[in-house]
Structures are given as structure tokens and as C-alpha cells.
Structure 1
Amino acid sequence: MKKWKIVTDSGSDFRTIDNLSDKVDFAFVPLMLNIDNEVIVDNGTIDNDTLNAKLEAAKGATSSACPSPDSYARTYVGAENVIVFTLTGGLSGSYNSARLGKDIFEEEHPDVNVHIFDSRSASGEMNLLIEKALELAEAEVEFEEMLDALNTYHQHTQIVFLLESVNNLVKNGRVNKIVGQMIGLLNIRLVGVRTEQSTIDIAHKARGAKRGYESVLKEMESNGYQGGKVSLSHVANLESAKRLKALIKERFKEAHVTIQETSNLCSYYAEKNGLILGYETK
């Protein structure tokens, strides 16, 4: 049995983690996307270009669906300590499902420590939280030390979105319809941030990519970013991600930026060419 297992859902962009020690395990529980009559399990079997094409061709409503409590409960097996990170409870029922899965699991495994973290976020910021948990697990901290350290770290992470389309957020009631219509006009980019209710709000509007990048950098600065880790996720938009990474490193000499593609779920909400950045703050 492993000492630690780190579990996440489709809110993170990680599907596997390489080079873990024999004391640490990682597991992934996918959400699902409903497009017309097709159910897509977000397990990496289709790429985001294909997903975007399906969304553009969709004739009916689309939606996302969280994993079942049983799916979570089965994933908790095999470790002494289990840490679970879920997509923000402000946008998804995944957190509640993970908690119900914990109740089911603990009936048969009362000696296993399980903690469910509502990330209050997605994508890049969740990636940072998972990396921190894995780092602590490899350092062989105790369970309560892990929770204290993660809670402290979470107080010093943030998220920002740069979006070229918000059609799915509008359809699902996450963004105001009028704001959604604006983004298609005059090459507008929207800079999204986390609200106190752990949902998405529009903080800035910028015309064109260059001004959009600058708005992202200013948002990061205003929240206390002075250099450190940035997890930059993109929706089939590697070139823009590279340009933004270069700008971050030019302005913040101590920046450490990693780039990865979003999960299908994060692609569904950030949409074509969207960028999502999780970053550390002081």
C-alpha cells in the first residue's frame, strides 16, 4: 500500500504524473461532457481541436456532468492518506460528489485518512496545488502537516483567464449573455478572474491579443505576483501560450512558467484559443 495518493478530477490538466516514488500514487477521476446525444468522458481520448469542432457543430444544448460518488470512492483505494482536489464547487458538483464518495469509502476503510479540497479554481491553479501536494508527499510529511501546508499555500495562489469566446459559459449561465455577445465584436479578449463565490467574473476587456496579454500581466501584478511558479494552460493555442510565457519571463526575472494543454473540461469552458494561468502570489 502506498503512503500517499493524490487524486484530482477534470478541473486539473493532469492525467498522469511521471517519476513518482514508490510511496506516492496519483489518480484521475474524469468529468463528462454532453454534446447533442454524445457523452464524452474527459479521459484524454479526444483532443481539444476535435472537441471544439464537435461543440461548433452541436445543434442542441451542451453540458458537463460530474463523476459519481462511487467513482470517487473506488479511486481512494490503495493508500494510507488520500488528498483529493476538485474543480471549484462554485461551478460543479464534483466537490460534493467527492465528499459523498469519502463517506462511502470510509464505511469500509475507517483507518484511511481522506481529505477533499475544493480548489475554488480550475486548470493552472489546480495544477499548482497538485504539484505542491506531490512535493510534500515525497518529503514524507504527516497528514496534518500536509493539510496545514496546502491550506497556507492555497492562500498564495491565484488564477486568471484570457478568453476569446465565452459561448459555453453563457449557455450554462456562468457569464452574462450581454458580456458574452461583446467578446465576438472588434477582436475583444476578456480577462476573467475568480470571484468570492469561486465562480468566474470578467475583470477587464481588451482589444487584440497584445492588450489582452498586458491586461493579464497587470492582473497578476495587482494580486501580488512578483515571480515564482506559473502554470499556463492553453486550448490548442501553443503559440499564444509561448508568447505570453516570454512576456512573463521578460517582466518577472524569477518567473518559472510551465505550459500544458487544458483538459477537455477546461477547454469546454475556456473555449477555442483560451488561456488559463495559475500563479503564485506573495
Structure 2
Amino acid sequence: MNVKILADSACDLSKSYYNEFDIEMVPLTVQLDEKEYQDGKTITPKKIYDAMRDGKSPKTSQISPQAFKAILTSYAEANQPLIYFALSSELSGTYQTAKIVEQEVKEEYPDAKLHIVDSKCASLGIGLVVLQAAKLAQNGASITEILESAQFHAKHMEHIFTVDDLEYLYRGGRVSKTAAFVGTLLKIKPILHVDNGKLIPLEKLRGSKKVLKRMVEIAKERGKDLSDQTIGIVHGDDLAAAEKLAELVKEEFHPKAIHIEMVGSVIGAHSGPGTLALFFLNDTK
């Protein structure tokens, strides 16, 4: 019996990939206009970005214990091996909730082959890890093989990103109010990355024209064997910028593939419209 891969909606993969690679997805929640939506199922990222441009502040919440209990119990009952790759525990309580529920389920089903992994990644950073794991699972790889490969990829996954408006990061507690005000006033574009699951400012550039070039330079400095990788790009409702970044990446590295997605509703509610991110490995096996 092949291993089943479970992901949450914060991995920002399109529905077609869930079907093609037999991945199950559990959605996080978005609240907008006093209504609650399931990320990736009952609301589109576009609706979130349009609302944010109109001055609204959508809220997000993690996956409920009840949702995890239903999913994990169903796989335990079927004796189906399952690996769940969670959004970084530094950004959401989803991983901790899944671990608590896992222990509850294993009390009733002690032989259940359930594995909960803190990816320490976000957005397509998790998405690329999930895709790699799902491909291995389809080819009949063992739990141990999939976990070893996925944990290596997650550990070495670089997230290099920028945002269009520092105000959204301020609301999420990522930058101070003064930094957000001064940044907006001076048209400063921050470049951030993820370090051990946390969002960390990396550089500040004045003007948006320099940002794409600098992102590619950072990839060249940090990446390894980029010509032999699938590189991920996500955007906050700015496909033109994503495609321009993809052109620069293609010219510089000639990667095996470039995977472009829109940042989903949950991640986008914190990063805002105009977000642009680049994902690649800084080490390869």
C-alpha cells in the first residue's frame, strides 16, 4: 500500500497537482466580512487581494482539531500509511494541533502509520517538498525513504521574497509601525527570507526595479545546482512580475522547470497583494 501524502492549503499548490499526484489537502480558514471560508476551496486568493486593496483586513485561523481527528482516524482505521507536511510551526499552530491529535488517534490505534512533519517552510516552499514526496509515494517509496528525502528538501529550501506594502507585515507583527511608515514613505522594498521557519528581513532596497535582479543574485549566491532544480515562484495577484522574474531565472540558471503559483488566501492575507517569492534549494543530494 503506497504512502498517502497530506498537505494543508498553505502549500499554495493548484488543485490539478492534488489530483495528479494523489495528494490530500486540508484547508486553513479565512474570515472576511464576518464570513468564514475554506482556503483553496470556498474562496479564491483574488477575492482576498481585492478586499485588501479596498482596505479590509482578512483574518486567518488554523485547522481545527476536529478536522484533523476525522482525517487521521480514517487513515488509521484503514491501516493506510500517511505523512502530513505542516506549515512552519513558527508561523501557525497547525503543526502543534496535528501532533496532539496524532497522539490521541494513536492511543486508539497504536499501530497507525501516521507521521506529522514540521516543514519549517511556507507557501510553495512546502509545495515543492510535498510534490517531491508525492512523486516518491506514487513510485512506491517507503515511509523512511520519503521522510528522509522530504526532510532534506525542507531543511534546504530557500524562501526569498518581497512585499509591495510593508503595512501588511506590520499588521502581522513582522515589522514595526515606524519601519512600515518610513518604508512606505521612502518606497523601500524589503527582501526577506525564512530561517528555521521564521520570517527574517534580509535586505532593503529603494525602488522596485532593483528587487527582481537582486532576488536572482541572491539565488545565485545561495543556490546549488540550480540548473538541475525545479524552481518555484509565487505572486500576490501580480502574474506579470512573476513571469518577469521567471524570465530572469531562466536566463541565468536554465532550470529543469519553473513552477509559478498565486499566493493562496491564508498566506496572502498576511503578505498582501504584490508579494513575490522565489524558492530553490541551497543544497542537493
Task: Using the TM superposition, give the Cα deviation of residue 188 of structure 1 relative to its aligned residue in structure 2, in angstroms.
Answer: 2.7
Alpha-carbon distance between aligned partners in 1 of 2:121 and 2:29, rounded to the nearest angstrom: 18
Matched residue, 1:100: 100
Aligned CA distance change for structure 1 residues 31 and 108 (closer, same or farther; 3 Å): same
Matched residue, 1:32: 29
* 1:66 pairs with 2:77: no
Query: So what's the TM-score if we normalise by structure 2?
Result: 0.88
Task: Using the TM superposition, give the Cα deviation of residue 211 of structure 1 relative to its aligned residue in structure 2, in angstroms.
Answer: 0.5
Task: Using the TM superposition, give the Cα deviation of residue 164 of structure 1 relative to its aligned residue in structure 2, in angstroms.
Answer: 0.8
Runs of 5+ consecutive residues of structure 1 not aligned to the other structure: none
Matched residue, 1:281: 282
Task: Please identify, of 257-266 and 9-18, the stretch whose mean Cα deviation from structure 2 is larger.
Answer: 9-18
Matched residue, 1:250: 251
Matched residue, 2:241: 240
Alpha-carbon distance between aligned partners in 1 of 2:211 and 2:267, rounded to the nearest angstrom: 19
Task: Using the TM superposition, give the Cα deviation of residue 57 of structure 1 relative to its aligned residue in structure 2, in angstroms.
Answer: 4.2
Larger strand proportion of the pair: 1
Aligned CA distance change for structure 1 residues 243 and 88 (closer, same or farther; 3 Å): same
Matched residue, 1:143: 143
Counterpart of 2:69, as a letter, is: A
Matched residue, 1:217: 216
Q: How many residues align?
A: 275
Counterpart of 1:192, as a letter, is: L
Aligned CA distance change for structure 1 residues 15 and 95 (closer, same or farther; 3 Å): farther
CA contact (8 A) 1:9 1:28 kept: yes
Aligned CA distance change for structure 1 residues 58 and 121 (closer, same or farther; 3 Å): same
Q: Secondary structure in 2 aligned to 1:11?
A: helix
Alpha-carbon distance between aligned partners in 2 of 1:68 and 1:110, rounded to the nearest angstrom: 22
* 1:4 pairs with 2:12: no
Q: Secondary structure in 2 aligned to 1:183?
A: helix
Query: So what's the TM-score if we normalise by structure 1?
Result: 0.88
Alpha-carbon distance between aligned partners in 1 of 2:178 and 2:113, rounded to the nearest angstrom: 46
Matched residue, 2:42: 45
Task: Please identify, of 75-84 and 208-217, the stretch whose mean Cα deviation from structure 2 is larger.
Answer: 75-84
Alpha-carbon distance between aligned partners in 2 of 1:9 and 1:247, rounded to the nearest angstrom: 30
CA contact (8 A) 1:85 1:116 kept: yes
Task: Using the TM superposition, give the Cα deviation of residue 236 of structure 1 relative to its aligned residue in structure 2, in angstroms.
Answer: 1.0
Task: Using the TM superposition, give the Cα deviation of residue 36 of structure 1 relative to its aligned residue in structure 2, in angstroms.
Answer: 5.4
Runs of 5+ consecutive residues of structure 2 not aligned to the other structure: none
Matched residue, 1:272: 273
Alpha-carbon distance between aligned partners in 2 of 1:255 and 1:162, rounded to the nearest angstrom: 24
CA contact (8 A) 1:86 1:116 kept: yes
Alpha-carbon distance between aligned partners in 2 of 1:45 and 1:208, rounded to the nearest angstrom: 36
Matched residue, 2:165: 165
Alpha-carbon distance between aligned partners in 2 of 1:10 and 1:263, rounded to the nearest angstrom: 8
Alpha-carbon distance between aligned partners in 2 of 1:109 and 1:15, rounded to the nearest angstrom: 33
Task: Please identify, of 4-13 and 244-253, the stretch whose mean Cα deviation from structure 2 is larger.
Answer: 4-13
Task: Using the TM superposition, give the Cα deviation of residue 152 of structure 1 relative to its aligned residue in structure 2, in angstroms.
Answer: 2.2
Q: Secondary structure in 1 aligned to 2:11?
A: coil
Alpha-carbon distance between aligned partners in 2 of 1:177 and 1:220, rounded to the nearest angstrom: 30
Larger helix proportion of the pair: 2
